[in-house]
Structures are given as C-alpha cells and as structure tokens.
Amino acid sequence: MTHVLLTGGAGFIGTHVTAALLAAGHSVAILDSGHPAAHRRPLPEAIAGVPIQVADLRDRDAVAGALRGVDVVVHQAAMVGMGVDLTDLPAYVGSNDLATAVLLAEMTRAKVRRLVLASSMVVYGEGSYACPEHGPQRPPARARRDLEAAHFEPPCTVCRAPLVSIPIDEDGSLDPRSVYAVTKLAQEHLSATWARQSDGSVVALRYHNVYGPGMPRDTPYSGVAAIFRSALAAGEAPRVFEDGRQRRDFVHVTDVAQANVAALEATERPGFSAYNIASGRPATVGDMARILASVMAGPAPVVTGEFRLGDVRHVVASPRRAADELGFTAAVDLSAGMADFAVAELRA
Ligand code: UD1
C-alpha cells in the first residue's frame, strides 16, 4: 500500500482518481484549494470518505504538513481550459507553476521522491501531420484568412496542399500555444529539473480530451463535450465549429483515473517520463456531437463554420508508450462513454 498525497482531489478528474486509488488499495490524503473557478458550491467535507484538507498549494506550511508520511504525490490541481482573456495570465502562472514550484520544494525538504503529474496534450500545440508529397510536418498556427475562407486543414508549408493528420507520440516537438499550455509545459520542465537534481521520479500524463461524470458544465473553461451536453439538455442543437471534421481523442475520466493508478504502480522510473493518455480511437468533433445527440435523443448538431483563432485542427495521439511502459490501455469506447455521459451528473 502506498500513501498518496493527491492535489486537486476534489475536482472533476481528482474525484475519479481518489476513487480509483482507493479501489486499488492505496491510502489517500487530499489537498484542494476549492478554487471558485472549479467549485461554485462549497466543497464537501470528504470525497469517498477521504477528508479534504482545504489549502492553496502556494501555502508552504500547509503543503509541508500534508506531505508527512507520503510516498508519492499525484498532482492534479491546476487551473484548466482556454481561459477568458490575457488578464488570466497571473492566475494561470500562480495556480499552475508557482504552486508546482512550492510543491517540489517541499517534496525535496520532506524527501518525497515520486511525482505523478497531470499534464496535457496542449503541450504539443498542433498534432502531427504529413504531406503526401513532402513528408512529415508540424504546421504553425492557422492564418485568420485561411479560416475565414473555410480552409480549415493546415496547408503543407511547401505546396499548400491540405496536410493529413497522423497520431503524435511523446517525442513530438513541444509547441504550447496558450497561456494554459505554457503553464502545463512549465510544470513538466520544472518537475523534470527537480527529478534530475533530486534523483526523483516523475511520470507526466498528457491527458487528451477528458470527459465523463462530474465534468464542469458550460463555463468558459469547459471542454466541448460538456458544452454539447448542456445544449442538448436544454433542447438545443450542439453547435459544431469549423466543418466538424477536426479530430480529437476523447478519453473517459475513469480511464484517466486508471492511468494515474498505473503510473503510480509502474516500477519506479528514474528521471522524467511523459505519456499520452488517450483512447487511441480518435473521433471528429462532428461525430462526437452526433453520437451524443443520438443517445440524448436531442436535435441533430449544426455545423456552424465558426472558428476560434486559438484552436488547433487535429490532435490525435499514439497511446502505445503508455501501454508498453505503464501497462495502461483505455477501456471505454466513445459510444459507451457518451451513453454514460448523457445521463451523468455534471458539476454545477
Ligand atoms: C481541451 C481543453 C484543454 C485540455 C485539452 C486536453 C478546454 C476549453 N480545453 O482542449 O484545456 O488541456 O482538451 O485535455 O477545456 N468546439 C465546438 N463547439 C463548441 C466548443 C468547441 O465545435 O461549442 C470545438 C473546438 O473548435 C475544437 C474542439 O471542439 O475544435 C475541442 O474544443 P475544446 O473542448 O475547447 O478542447 P481542446 O481545445 O481540444
């Protein structure tokens, strides 16, 4: 049995990680700030019987106290999503990077040497692509004029033909394109440096598009699955941006929780390693909307042609390294996951 300090244990993913760790026979202590962006209601006293210690990770004394007797830290606490605008910048850097820095410093003092870090596919920026003629490419951000002309596929940098999306693996170059993405990559870099200098072990899990019970409802920070579910629950059609053919890997939150257990139980890997946590069965946003509309017996999705300048076109991942090295494979396919999501409680 391992004693785990779980940060962000009261959040959407953290709640599922708590349950999975307990089910796997580990003991868990939860630290959560109860940040109002993630929790519009007061926190419960406990999650699955584990009391929540309410504190911000930047509170060194609270972190030092919480680390007593801990073998491994599973760090889920973060401010997520695309944010509202650039006035969010200090909040993202503070909640994600300064907080991680304090955590790592206190882990050093407490001689806790193992960390499982919730990272994100946003560290890649665009996914991987190839031009049939000119080979592999990692395209830059799409130009507004291309999007306005409904040319949604990133073009080949040589011949301008539409590129073909291919699964990205963990060796893909990193190209964070939002404040949130920069803070997630900084967490990876800070913890990799910490691992090198402390002989520690860090397993970073690059989550793809997580959905499932307890997902935050329609907020500026919500993912597309929750936005579509809220629309359908209100009797409205999901509004699918671009041409609906943009691809993502939607991974069920119970699979993400299992990935954390697998990372915790994998033989201690010295230094820093990162893994895609994905279903391995990507879907278009249009397909996901159709499946959800059908299981909720709601109106068919509308493809609007709208676009968000910051959006990437396709991010699909190879799940192979997580399977080979952590023994993690996602169990829930999109149809079963969406059927469950259609009736699940969301976070108010
Ligand atoms: C999401 C998360 C990001 C997380 C990443 C990996 C959000 C806002 N983004 O990024 O924080 O790190 O997954 O887990 O939670 N779309 C529509 N209609 C809508 C809203 C969105 O068609 O009403 C489309 C978007 O244009 C985009 C796709 O859905 O093509 C996905 O959007 P979103 O859920 O915001 O996620 P990501 O950008 O993939």
CB-based contacts of 213: which residues, under 8 Å, 6+ apart? 16, 253, 340, 341, 344, 345, 346
pLDDT along the chain (348 residues), means of 10: 95 97 98 86 89 96 98 96 82 97 98 97 93 93 94 94 94 92 97 97 97 84 89 96 98 98 89 97 97 97 94 94 98 96 87
Whose tokens are 């909640």? That residue is 95
Written as one letter, the residue type at 269 is: R
Q: How far apart are CA 115 and CA 103, in angstroms?
A: 10
Q: DSSP label at 121?
A: G
Mutate to test the pocket of ligand 1, among 209, 242, 248 (most ligand atoms within 8 A of CB): 209
CA 269 to chain centre: 22
Whose tokens are 């963990």? That residue is 170
Q: How far apart are CA 117 and CA 99, in angstroms?
A: 13
What is the model's pLDDT at position 81?
Answer: 76
CA angle, corner 61, sides to 94 and 207, nearest 5?
A: 45
Q: Mind giving me the DSSP string for 39-90?
A: -SSPPPSEETTEEEEE--TT-HHHHHHHTTT-SEEEE-----SS-SSGGGHH
With a 6 Å cutoff on the Cβ, whether 240 touches ligand 1 is yes
What is the model's pLDDT at position 309?
Answer: 87
Span from the CA of 180 to the centroid of ligand 1 (angstroms): 13
Ligand 1 atom showing the smallest separation from residue 315 Cα? 39
| Residue ranges with strand state E in 125-193 | 128-131, 135-137, 164-166
With a 6 Å cutoff on the Cβ, whether 102 touches ligand 1 is no
Span from the CA of 317 to the centroid of ligand 1 (angstroms): 15
With a 6 Å cutoff on the Cβ, whether 210 touches ligand 1 is yes
Candidates 137, 81, 115, 123; CA nearest to 276 is 123
**Can you say whether residue 83 is alpha, beta or left, with left for phi > 0 and alpha for psi between -120 and 50 degrees?**
left
Span from the CA of 224 to the centroid of ligand 1 (angstroms): 5
Q: How far apart are CA 15 and CA 12, in angstroms?
A: 6
**How buried is residue 68: exposed, middle or buried, by Cβ count under 10 Å (0-12/13-18/19+)?**
exposed
What is the model's pLDDT at position 82?
Answer: 67
With a 6 Å cutoff on the Cβ, whether 227 touches ligand 1 is yes
With a 6 Å cutoff on the Cβ, whether 184 touches ligand 1 is no
Q: How far apart are CA 76 and CA 79, in angstroms?
A: 10
What residue owns the CA closest to ligand 1's atom 26? Answer: 241
**Can you say whether residue 202 is alpha, beta or left, with left for phi > 0 and alpha for psi between -120 and 50 degrees?**
beta
With a 6 Å cutoff on the Cβ, whether 119 touches ligand 1 is no
Q: Do the beta carbons of residue 72 and residue 114 sit within 8 Å?
A: yes
Q: In what order do the strands lie in the sheet with 128-131?
A: 135-137, 128-131, 164-166
Q: Mind giving me the DSSP string for 300-330?
A: PPEE-----TT--S---B--HHIIIII----
- Helix or strand run (H / E) with residue 345: none
With a 6 Å cutoff on the Cβ, whether 39 touches ligand 1 is no
Span from the CA of 48 to the centroid of ligand 1 (angstroms): 29
Whose tokens are 């072990």? That residue is 201
Question: Hey, how many other C-beta atoms are within 10 angstroms of the C-beta on 193?
Answer: 13
Ligand 1 atom showing the smallest separation from residue 231 Cα? 23
Candidates 83, 46, 20, 92; CA nearest to 219 is 83
